[in-house]
Amino acid sequence: GPKEQMVLELRPAHDPRKTYGFAGVVISVEDLSASIWTWYREKDGHWQAKKTIKIPAQPAKADQLPPLLKGFEAVPPLVTDIDLSLDDKFLYVACWGTGELHQYDVTDPLNPKLTSKVEIGGIVRRKGHPKHEGSLLGGPQMVEISRDGRRVFATNSLYSTWDDQFYPEKLEGWMVRINVDPSGGAKIDPNFFIETGQLRLHQVRLEGGDASTDSFCYPS
């Protein structure tokens, strides 16, 4: 609709027998929330889309915010990436603005359930990492899932012009790893932290394949 702005990522189910997928909407102009929509084919062959997840903006004081957001007194989640595990069980949602990575059980794709949340960076929170001294700018921006679903990697740079508007203190590049419990749950790996300074990291690919690049023409 007219209130939801910018779909940056579409993630179809990996199983070629399934006729559904997910779309990540960056922001709503109504309340700065972000949302996830499930698109699916009905039995009569018609395609539909339904908002299945809403992530609200978080209130904040104007003096904590970059000039772009001061008038709103809120931090938008800014969903910049979503990624679906290879078994189509978990959907990961990167909230670059609030510095969060959400894990949803999407076994029932029309009724996702939040199963875990990790925090790092963020416009206001700026949560750090055990291997880094001090606060961190940026947040989970692009995510990549290993084929076995046990490791999720997140990088923190969107595009330089966006980086500089939402993180005007000059964001520096980093990458983290999140360890995943196959039954649900995720935690930041305290020993994995890669810093790249002024070389900002947008996205990572995994050797041997990963969940966002692998697709299948036939069921296994």
Residue ranges covered by each domain of the chain: 57-197
- CA 89 to chain centroid, in Å, comes to 16
In this predicted structure, what is the pLDDT of residue 1? 66
User: Which two structure tokens, joined as six digits, stand for 150?
Assistant: 């046990």
pLDDT per residue over 82-135, tens digit each?
999 999 999 999 999 999 999 999 999 999 999 999 999 999 999 999 999 899
Residues of the chain with pLDDT under 50: none
In this predicted structure, what is the pLDDT of residue 11? 94
pTM across the whole model:
0.94
In this predicted structure, what is the pLDDT of residue 70? 95
In this predicted structure, what is the pLDDT of residue 216? 66
In this predicted structure, what is the pLDDT of residue 217? 62
